[in-house]
Amino acid sequence: MKTVVKSLIIIFILTLELFSSVKLNSANSFVKGEPFTFELEVTGSSIKFPKIEKIDSYIVQNLGTSRSLQIINGNYSEKISQKFQILPQKDFEIPSFTFEIDGVEIQSSSRKITQRKVNKTISNNFDLQLKASKEEAYVGEDILLKLVFKYRKNLQITNLGFEPPHFENFWYKKVDNKNRRYEENGYIVQELEYLLFPQKEGKLKVNPLAIIVQLVNQNSSYGNFSFLSVPVEKRVYSNSLDFDIKPLPKSVNLIGNFDINATIDKSEIKEGESVSLKLDIKGVGNFDDLEDFKLDIQNATIYDNKPQIKTAYSKKGFEGSYEKIFSIVPSSSITIPSFKLKYFDKTQKKVIEKETKEFKVKVNSLNKQKTTPILEKSNEPKEIKKVIEKSITLKDKLLYFSLGSLVTILIFGLYIYARIYKQKTKEDKPLIKKLKSCKTKEEMLKLLLPYLKYDSQLDELIFECEKTKNFKGAQKAIISLVKQLDIKG
């Protein structure tokens, strides 16, 4: 009996392994700075995937799941594939994961993934070049990086994908040159510019950047109908760049040429009034590293707003302006201290310190005098008024009554007329009645079809009605707008 049970268990396991499998699909190497994608493909029935959140401290992003059914020799099974993505910085290993298939745990295989070096793409069809304005710079100094991509004019390109760059050890921002595009010697040329600001000293490197090109497959079986085929994807890599970055002098984090100025709107005020102080900094340099300025004055309450910093790249370099306004309410006369600014001047190769002037503000106190009201006796003689009573005759009473009745009837008539007019205006127009009687979204869309292009806001509501699941809400909004537009229908 035991032998039979063991045999059945072995047969069950062999059958399960025959129709159940876990497969890891991935490359064996990755490029630093590019996302790495891998796929876990599981076949069987009653499949339970493990929860995959991290691999070697890298956050794992689930890109989606696909399912399919298959029948092999009359046996039904399901195939589930899940794609994942991580952004590795060094060699790592995809570990073995545990899956539950038909109540049995099955392990996936592990795989070591190594970093590979990328070389610049050499091709007659494409070229991607990185050019820098300088190879030596100081920490915080701007470096203009130009990315030039060109491809043959006659290529059938369906899409160009530029992966967002990651400049390690550099702070960067894109220069707004409206993506320069032009033709040159049979090539289409596109240019992008970035400003790089090195964040540390030493030998720094910008790794090759990549552009993903999707081309029409010329070898497709569709022949002249090549647009029906799946595009061929190709990655075009640029060259790398090396920089020698020098440190700034101690206690200085700005480099360039700056001017600082401060002004006040008045130097003498009354107690309780405020003084407005404006601080301006202009120049060329790393404005984004400029620290915020604060004021601390005894016997004064200070209010300040966020500074307004504007920057733009020009022939002079990274130009900018800093503006901040302080509102100062002193309780007595005060001295507003000067503001100081230190920066490294590359031309003079020394630290420059500039400061604003001090301001003295005089506060005049308010002398509050108490005043007591004085009552004076009036010497004017009193005026004696005589009241003369006049009797009203019966004739006058009848006249007044008749006039009052006439006015009352007139007012009542106007009231009735206003109510009847209002009731008439409240009556729904034919289109609104039809809209209210609509029971489904399809009925209402057919009814509104002739009114497309009548009003842009109505068009938006019609398109929203087509997509929304809240039919009643969309119906109410459309009826309200039709009333406003006074569409008679």
Residue of 295, 354, 288 whose CA lies nearest to 321: 288
According to the model, what pLDDT value does residue 274 have?
92
List, for residues 160-172, the tens digit of each pLDDT value: 888 778 899 999 9
Residue of 394, 351, 366 whose CA lies nearest to 256: 351
Phi-psi category of residue 404: left, alpha or beta, with phi > 0 → left and psi -120 to 50 → alpha: alpha
According to the model, what pLDDT value does residue 218 have?
66
CA 282 to chain centre: 29
The 3-class secondary structure across the chain, one letter per residue, is CHHHHHHHHHHHHHHHHHHCEEEEEECCEECCCCCEEEEEEEEECCEECCCCCEECCEECEEEEEEEEEEEECCEEEEEEEEEEEECCCCCEEECCCEEEECCEEEECCCEEEEECCCCCCCCCCEEEEEEECCCEEECCCCEEEEEEEEEECCCCEEEEEECCCCCCCEEEEECCCCCCEEEECCEEEEEEEEEEEECCCEEEEECCCEEEEEECCCCCCCCCCHHHCCCEEEEEECCCEEEEEECCCCCCCCEEEEEEEEEECCCEEECCCCEEEEEEEEEEECHHHCCCCCCCCCCEEEEECCCEEEEEEECCEEEEEEEEEEEEEECCCEEECCCEEEEEECCCCEEEEEECCCEEEEEECCCCCCCCCCCCCCCCCCCCCCCCCCCCCHHHHHHHHHHHHHHHHHHHHHHHHHHHHHHHHHCCCHHHHHHHHCCCHHHHHHHHHHHCCCCHHHHHHHHHHHHCCCHHHHHHHHHHHHHHHCCCC
Separation of alpha carbons 378 and 451, rounded Å = 81
List, for residues 105-118, the tens digit of each pLDDT value: 999 999 999 999 88
pLDDT tens track, the chain, 489 positions: 555 445 444 444 444 444 568 999 999 999 887 889 999 999 987 889 999 999 998 999 999 999 887 666 666 678 899 999 999 989 999 999 999 988 899 999 999 999 998 899 999 999 999 999 999 999 999 999 999 999 999 888 888 888 778 899 999 999 987 668 899 999 999 999 999 999 999 999 999 999 999 988 766 555 455 555 667 888 999 999 999 999 999 989 999 999 999 999 999 999 989 999 999 999 999 999 999 999 999 999 999 989 999 999 988 999 999 999 999 999 999 999 999 999 999 999 999 999 999 999 999 987 654 444 444 444 555 554 544 445 566 666 677 777 777 778 888 778 787 776 555 544 556 788 888 888 888 888 777 777 766 787 887 788 788 778 788 888 888 888 888 877 766
Separation of alpha carbons 77 and 68, rounded Å = 9
Separation of alpha carbons 34 and 17, rounded Å = 36
List, for residues 198-208, the tens digit of each pLDDT value: 999 999 999 99
Could you tell me the two tokens for 130?
């990185």
Residue with tokens 């793409």: 121
User: Domains in the chain, please, with CATH?
Assistant: 2-115 (2.60.40), 126-246 (2.60.40), 256-364 (2.60.40), 430-485 (no CATH)
